[in-house]
Every structure is written in structure tokens, then in C-alpha cells.
Structure 1
């Protein structure tokens, strides 16, 4: 019996790039006052043994938490613990000569006066970083504005390009939307850390800056 085997050959057609396709991008930006304040307060301790350092840090942090919680309010001033570390110190021979540790408390929210007043009343921790930013609500609202602006500019630019090449309009092929915000926060006018005890209950002077929310719309359009 003879068996015939047939073979099918597929011929690859040459790739033809799409015609009359334009790639472009447009941006929308909105400047807005920063409405979120974050103050980190910390302390460091050293002792011959780890238990002593840990107990000292816990006592300082517990006292600070008790003071901060007096005026805490969700969204206006949230209180949370930050980094907590404990590590040995070594002498020249490589043996443990003592222990050191640090603890951090973070006050964050939209009520600047409440936060700065609470920070001024905390006596067991010293001032660390002070940063400003945008709350989730503020960022969402401003991003929506910047996005609408970027989309309008993208559409206007696409139509302008289409007409410049003699086409009546365009259709959208693909598009991407990216958002980010950036801003420079002024350095708070604070007393030296050594004068912390002398500050008593004085609020910490702070001043927010502005953030620029930028949305970029990029993609390709088919001229028609």
C-alpha cells in the first residue's frame, strides 16, 4: 500500500505598517495648595543592655502617644508609630559594648494648627522631618481637572494635525494617561532641637507650599 504525505506551506505576507497614523502627547497641569502635613518625632537611647534601651524607648513613646491622642481626630490629625530599631554597639575587639535604639511617632493630617500644637506639647520626643503633600481627596479632585485639560488639548492637537495634512478628522487608535504631582515644601521655621524643652507647649511654626499636579495623555490617532 502506498501512502502519500501532503505538505502545506504557509507563505508569510510582508508586513505593511499602518498608514496615516500620528503619535502625539498633551499635558494638563494644575497648581494647588498643599493640604496635608506630616511631622515625625523621634528619640534615641543608649544603654549597656538591650532591655534597658527598649524600656526607655517604650516609656518615651507611650508618653508621646498619650499626649498626641488627646487631640487626635481621623483625617484632621492621625497618629501612628513609625520606625522602631534596636541594635548593638561593638568595641574595637568586636565584642558588644552596649545597645542603642530609636523610636518614631508620626502626626499627619489636614489640620495644621492641631498637628503643630500637638507636636509642641510632646516633651519626650524631638522634632524630625516635616513634610507637606496632598490629601487623597485633594489629589483626586485636582487630577480630574488636569486630566480633563490634558484630554481636551490632546483632542484639539489631533484635530489640528489632521486638518494640517488635509484630513477631515481622526479616530483614536490607542491612548495612555499618566499622572504625578510634585512640589517644594518650604522648610519650617523651627527652634534648635537642643531648645526643645524650652519650647514648652508652643506650637511648631509650619507653612505649606504648592504642588503641581501633571497629567500626560499620549497615544496614536488614525487620520481620516
Structure 2
């Protein structure tokens, strides 16, 4: 049977053992190299997004809201006729209504705006629809990579980055006189960088011709970049017989 003194002695010994373990110095890492490499693939942007909007102002909030709703409803009716999953998606964007103040700080009117976004892979369908919509004006044109295109190209860039990481790890190990390496840890990060060519020129041309033809657009390219970084344990050369 354990006596109170024996229990206290055991607890003290356990506490001392824990403190001793915590105070042990960590074993320093030896022969570990930090490696990083990247792979990149340039690809044509295949996703087009056109934003169309309009604004109204007046003395009465209800009147302004009604006018915005009418403009948006007319645009939606036109756009939905050409909508198709993946090829052209139609969605509403920002809708705002806020008071306008006079010099005396009192409300003297109301202002508002509404937005419609056409987005998809069928550039001709999207630009043609935008050119037919009369109740809204062109706001902005942007390009990007679709999810499918990004996944495909990201895999290619990742394969490049991994092969370069392995080659660099082997080169570093050999340069330091080691016989090889094992992987300790690794992280993979991907992103894409793209641009929209001449956005201001596109918008100006589209504004003048919108009532008669499709909005002229020109897609750019995106570069999908994958970075692979991590650490490797360099291994000694095999012992000679």
C-alpha cells in the first residue's frame, strides 16, 4: 500500500524527470539543405468576363430604383436568350442606391447603379450579346483562365518544378561531397499571372460600335507558375570495401 510520503516522492520524481527532459538540448540538424525550384507554362486565356452597368439619379429613391430595375430587367431578358452553361453565364453584379446631399447637409436627391456580368468561354457569343444590350453600357472587359485550363497547365508546371527540384537536390548533394539525399519536407505553391491587353482602347471602341456589332476583344496570355521548396537530408557516400 502506498503511503502519503511514498506518493509525494513518486510525484516529485516524475516532475523532476519531466523538467530534465524539457531541458535537454535539441539535437542540431546536420547535412540538411534547403532547396527551391519553379516551373512555368504560358497559356492563352480562355475565360472572358464583360461587365455592363448603368446609373440613374433623381429626386425620389423609389423612382431611381424602378429605373435601374427596368434597365437591368431589359438586359437580363436579352442576355438569357443566349446564355449557355460554360459558354456564357449571366449574373447580376453590384446594385447600389444612396442619397445625394446638398450644401446644407440635407438630402436633395438619390443616385444608384446596377451591373450585369457576362462570363464564359464562348467569346463570340458573349461579345455579340453585349453588343445587342441597349439598356446598359460597357463597364469593363477582363480575361482569365478557366478552372479546367488552369488545372491542366498547373500539372505541367508542377511536373517541371518537381524535376528541377530533384535535379538541384542531387547537384547540391554531389557538390558537397555526399552520395545522395532523402526528402525531409516539401511544399508546393501555384499561381498564375495574366494581363488584359489594351483595356482602355477596347472599352472606347466598344462604346461607339455597341449598337451595331459585337464588342471587339482580344485575349492575352497567363503564365502559370508553380514553386516547389523544401529540405533534403544529404547522405554520405557508401563506405569503400
- Shorter chain as denominator, the TM-score bin is over 0.9
Instruction: Check the 8 A contact 1:127/1:193 in 2, yes or no.
Output: no
Distance 2:46 2:206 in 1: 29
5+ residue gaps, structure 1, are: none
Return the TM-score normalized by structure 2: 0.88
5+ residue gaps, structure 2, are: 236-241
Distance 2:68 2:104 in 1: 28
Instruction: Check the 8 A contact 1:28/1:149 in 2, yes or no.
Output: yes
SS of the residue corresponding to residue 76 of structure 2 reads: helix
Return the offset for 1:93. Answer: 1.3
- Superposed CA RMSD in Å reads 1.9
Show the counterpart of 1:221: 232
Alignment of 1:105-184 (within 5 A): 105-184=116-195
Return the offset for 1:160. Answer: 1.1
Show the counterpart of 1:73: 84
Alignment of 1:36-75 (within 5 A): 36-75=47-86
Alignment coverage as a number of residue pairs: 223
Distance 2:130 2:181 in 1: 57
1:34 aligns with 2:34: no
Instruction: Check the 8 A contact 1:28/1:215 in 2, yes or no.
Output: yes
CA deviations 1:128-164 (Å, max 9, x no partner) are 0100010000000000000011011101111111111
Return the TM-score normalized by structure 1: 0.94
Q: Looking at CA atoms only, which structure, 1 or 2, has the larger radius of gyration?
A: 2
